[in-house]
Amino acid sequence: MDLTTATPSEIDTRLAELERQDAKLTYDIQSAWSDLRAALGHRQVRVLNRDGRAEYVYLISSHDAEHEAVAPDASTNTREAYQALHALRKQVLVNRAERTKIKVEFNRRGGWTRAWAVPNGHVHQSTACSTCFPTTRFGWLSQVSGMNEAEIVAQAGERACTRCYPSAPVNPKPCQLWTIEEQAERASAQQVAAVKAEKAAAKAAKAITNPDGSPLRGKWGVIATERTAEIEAVNEIHNFLAFDYEINQAYLDTLFAALAHKRGQTVEEVTAVIQAKATKKAAKTMGPSIESWNRP
């Protein structure tokens, strides 16, 4: 990135990335230190503080630990752990140098506007806004760096802090401005909603009711799916054909009506399909000599 020609928002977006990277490096360095201590065979010991609280500490200082790590007789594990720590430290310095260059460019241009958002709260011109507290957490909106008040207010809509942006309208528009963390949250919420809608649609596609929308009652409770309704109807006829059970014609008619409604077919069309399936099933049970059933 050519700092002299890049836009404020390009520069600040890079700066935000560098800050995130730096925070991660701090974490990675801690874990590299643990690895190095382990390679050196250092163990933490439990010590009691004067206030009675216990703490786990290394009795060998990190300074001595580094000396040990570069000693000629250091093990391969130790050397590798130390190299990893060293590489991370180098990244910290490179990161810091780039951030310094950005700071210099910011000052050279006499600064530019920046905006911050409190998570799920207002958008502010500075983290020192008098409506906030020292403990308030902020997310940086580097995408609007360099924009004027009107431009930021147009995007922030109802989220614009009226103390920071006195021109914010009384009846603002919905917000269109989100921090990186909020964007990620919103994307995952959208994904969850889409999956839920998809599941609901799949369920609805399989669902069946009476034509009037009331629950379709089967012999053993409510029949929820088209598939179950068809199996019930087929069995009702099959059991008559194969085992000479009495047919519950009213029940069968209810199933036919529900299936016809669901499939957008006539009762006759549905009956023909179910009849054929029941006859085929009965032939399997009893042999091919079975007579077919016809709706009386």
* Helix or strand holding residue 11 (H, E): helix 8-40
Least gap, CB of 132 to Zn ion (angstroms): 7
Least gap, CB of 133 to Zn ion (angstroms): 12
**Which 3 state secondary structure label does DSSP give 222?**
strand
Contacts of residue 22, Cβ cutoff 8 Å, sequence gap at least 6 = 92, 95, 96, 99
Least gap, CB of 160 to Zn ion (angstroms): 9
Please tell me the distance from the alpha carbon of residue 118 to that of residue 294, in angstroms, as a whole number. Answer: 72
Beta bridge partners of 140: 116
Least gap, CB of 146 to Zn ion (angstroms): 18
CB-nearer residue toward Zn ion: 172 or 218: 172
CB-nearer residue toward Zn ion: 15 or 152: 152
Radius of gyration of the chain (CA): 36
- Cβ density class 220-249: b for 16+ within 10 Å, e for less: eeebbebebbbbbbbebbbbbbbeeeeeee
CB-nearer residue toward Zn ion: 41 or 166: 166
Burial class (CB in 10 A: 0-12, 13-18, 19+), 69: buried
CB-nearer residue toward Zn ion: 40 or 164: 164
Least gap, CB of 112 to Zn ion (angstroms): 18
Least gap, CB of 174 to Zn ion (angstroms): 19
Torsion, Cα 245 251 256 259, to 10 degrees, reads -110
Residues forming the site for Zn ion (CB under 5 A): 124, 129, 131, 161, 163-164
CB-nearer residue toward Zn ion: 14 or 163: 163
Cβ atoms within 10 Å of 1's Cβ, excluding its own: 12
CB-nearer residue toward Zn ion: 160 or 234: 160
What is the full DSSP assignment across 113-153?
A: ---EE-TTS-EES-TT-TTS-TT---EE-GGGTT--HHHHH
Least gap, CB of 150 to Zn ion (angstroms): 16
CB-nearer residue toward Zn ion: 124 or 159: 124
